[in-house]
A and B are shown apart, each in its own frame.
Chain A
Amino acid sequence: MNNYLDFERPLAEIEGKAEELRALARQNEEMDVEKEAAALDAKAEALLAELYENLTPWRKCQVARHPDRPHARDYIETLFNEYTPLAGDRNFADDHAVMGGLARFNDHPVVVIGLEKGHDTKSRIERNFGMARPEGYRKAIRLMDLADRFSLPVITLVDTPGAYPGKGAEERGQSEAIARSTEKCLRLGVPLISVIIGEGGSGGAVALATANKLIMLEHSIYSVISPEGCASILWKDAEKMREAAEALKLTAQDLHRLGVADVVVKEPVGGAQRDRKATIEAVGRALESALREFRRKKPETILKHRRRKYLEIGSKGLAA
Chain B
Amino acid sequence: MNWISNYVRPKINSLFSRREVPENLWTKCPECGTMLFHRELKDNLNVCMNCDHHMPISPRDRLAALFDGGVFSEIDVPEAPSDPLGFRDQKKYPDRMKEARRKTGEKEAMLVAEGEIGRTPIVAAAQDFRFMGGSMGMYVGNAILAGVERAVKGRCPFILFSAAGGARMQEGILSLMQMPRTTVAVQMLKEARLPYIVVLTHPTTGGVTASYAMLGDVQIAEPNALIGFAGSRVIEQTIGEKLPEGFQRSEYLLDHGMLDRVTHRGHLRDELITITRMLMRESPPIKGDLPRPEAVDETPDPEATANPDEAATSEKAAGK
A311-B145 CB under 8 A given contacts A179-B211, A224-B169: yes
Pairwise interchain contact A249-B256, C-beta atoms closer than 8 A = no
Instruction: Indicate the member of B83, B173, B177, B209 with the most A CB atoms within 10 Å.
Output: B173
Does B248 sit at the interface, judged by CB under 8 A? Answer: yes
Residues in A with CB closer than 8 Å to B213 are: 175, 179
* Docked pose: A29 CA to B171 CA in angstroms: 62
Tell me which residues across on chain B come within 8 A of A182, comparing CB atoms. 179-180, 183, 210-211
Report the count of interface residues on A (CB-CB < 8 A).
55
B167 within 8 A of A: yes
CB–CB A307/B229 < 8 A = no
Contact of A222 among B83, B173, B256 (CB under 8 A): B173
State in angstroms the CA–CA spacing of A250 and B86 once bound together. Answer: 13
Q: Are B172 and A223 in touch, CB under 8 angstroms?
A: yes
Interface string of A174-196 (1 = CB under 8 A from B): 11101110110111000000000
Contacts of A175 in B (CB 8 A): 209-210, 213-214, 228-229
Q: Which of B187, B210, B229, B234 contacts A186 (CB 8 A)?
A: B187
Q: Is A1 an interface residue (CB 8 A)?
A: no
The residue that B234 contacts in the complex, of A165, A247, A260, A320, with Cβ under 8 A, is: A165
B248 touching A249 by the CB < 8 A rule? no
Cross-interface CB contact of A310 among B84, B181, B186, B256, cutoff 8 Å: B181
* Complex partner residue of B89 from A167, A187, A243, CB under 8 angstroms: A243
Contact of A249 among B85, B181, B230 (CB under 8 A): B85
Confirm or deny: A203 has a beta carbon within 8 angstroms of a beta carbon on chain B. Answer: yes
If A318-B84, A319-B86 touch, whether A311 touches B229 (CB-CB below 8 Å) is: no
Q: List the A residue with the shortest CB-CB distance to B204.
A: A175
Task: Establish whether residues B85 and A318, one from each chain, have CB atoms under 8 Å apart when the complex forms.
Answer: yes
Q: Is the CB of B180 within 8 A of A206?
A: yes
Q: Which single residue of chain B is at the shortest CB-CB distance from A309?
A: B180
Residue B37 is within 8 A (CB to CB) of chain A in the complex? no
User: In the bound complex, do residue A171 and residue B256 qualify as a contact, i.e. CB atoms below 8 Å apart?
Assistant: yes
Which residues of the other chain, A, contact B141 by a CB distance below 8 angstroms? 314
Query: Are B184's CB and A178's CB within 8 A?
Result: no
Taking the closest CB of chain B, its distance from the CB of A59, in whole angstroms, is 18
B229 touches A165 (CB 8 A): yes
Q: Is the CB of B180 within 8 A of A210?
A: yes
- Closest Cβ–Cβ distance, residue A74 to chain B (whole Å): 26
Kindly state whether residue A143 has any CB partner on chain B within 8 Å: no
Whether the Cβ atoms of B81 and A314 lie closer than 8 Å is yes
Per-residue CB proximity of B58-82 to A under 8 Å, as 1/0?
Answer: 0000000000000000000000110
| Closest chain B CB from A47 CB (angstroms) | 31
Q: Which residues of A contact B172 (CB under 8 A)?
A: 223-224, 247-250
Is B235 a contact partner of A170 (Cβ separation < 8 A)? yes
Segment 197-239 of B: residues with Cβ below 8 Å from A: 206-207, 209-215, 228-231, 234-235, 238-239
- Measured CA separation A202–B171 after assembly (Å): 13
Interface residues of B in 126-172 (CB under 8 A from A): 138, 141, 145, 167, 169, 171-172
B220 CB to nearest chain A CB (Å): 15
| Closest Cβ–Cβ distance, residue B99 to chain A (whole Å) | 14
Chain A residues, CB < 8 A from B215: 179-180, 183
Bound Cα distance A258, B85 (Å): 9
Q: Is B88 an interface residue (CB 8 A)?
A: yes
A313 CB-CB contact with B under 8 Å: yes
B238 near A165 with CB under 8 A, answer yes
B176 at the interface (CB under 8 A from A): yes
A258 touches B180 (CB 8 A): no
Q: Which of B174, B231, B238 has the most CB of A within 10 A?
A: B174
User: Is A43 on the interface with B (CB-CB < 8 A)?
Assistant: no
A230 CB–B CB distance under 8 Å: yes
A219-232 interface code vs B (CB 8 A; 1 in, 0 out): 00011110000100
Contacts of B211 in A (CB 8 A): 178-179, 182, 203
A234 vs B145: C-alpha distance in the bound complex, in angstroms?
29
B258 at the interface (CB under 8 A from A): yes
Q: How far is the CA of A237 from the CA of B145 in the complex (A)?
A: 36
Chain A residues contacting B46 (CB-CB under 8 Å) are none
Bound: A255/B141 CA distance, A: 19
List of A residues within 8 angstroms of B180 by Cβ:
182, 185-186, 206, 210, 310
The residue on A at minimum CB distance from B138 is A314
Do A234 and B258 touch (CB < 8 A)? no
Q: With a CB–CB cut-off of 8 A, which chain B residues contact A320?
A: 81
Chain B residues with CB under 8 Å of A173's CB are 214, 256-258
CB–CB B206/A203 < 8 A: yes
Say how far B122's CB is from chain A's closest CB, in angstroms: 23
Which residues of chain B are within 8 angstroms of A202 by Cβ–Cβ distance? 167, 176, 207
A172 at the interface (CB under 8 A from B): yes
Once the chains bind, are B229 and A314 in contact (CB under 8 Å)? no
Within 8 Å by CB of A179, from B85, B175, B181, B214, lies B214
Contact A260 B177, CB 8 Å, known A175-B229, A314-B138 = yes
CA of A317 to CA of B186 in the docked complex: distance in angstroms? 25
A258 to B: closest C-beta gap in Å: 6
Q: How far is the CA of A167 from the CA of B242 in the complex (A)?
A: 10
A33 to B291, CA, bound (A): 101
**Which residues from B are CB-within-8-Å of A225?**
167, 169
Q: How far is the CA of A320 from the CA of B206 in the complex (A)?
A: 29
- New A-B contacts (11) at CB < 8 Å, excluding given A163-B229, A186-B187: A174-B229, A178-B210, A186-B180, A202-B167, A223-B172, A224-B172, A225-B169, A230-B169, A247-B85, A314-B177, A319-B84
Nearest first, the 5 A-B pairs at minimum CB distance are A317-B84, A165-B230, A175-B209, A234-B89, A178-B210
24 A-B pairs with C-beta separation under 8 A: A166-B235, A171-B256, A173-B257, A173-B258, A174-B210, A176-B258, A180-B214, A180-B215, A206-B180, A210-B179, A210-B183, A223-B172, A224-B171, A225-B167, A260-B174, A313-B174, A314-B80, A314-B138, A314-B171, A315-B81, A316-B81, A319-B81, A319-B84, A319-B86
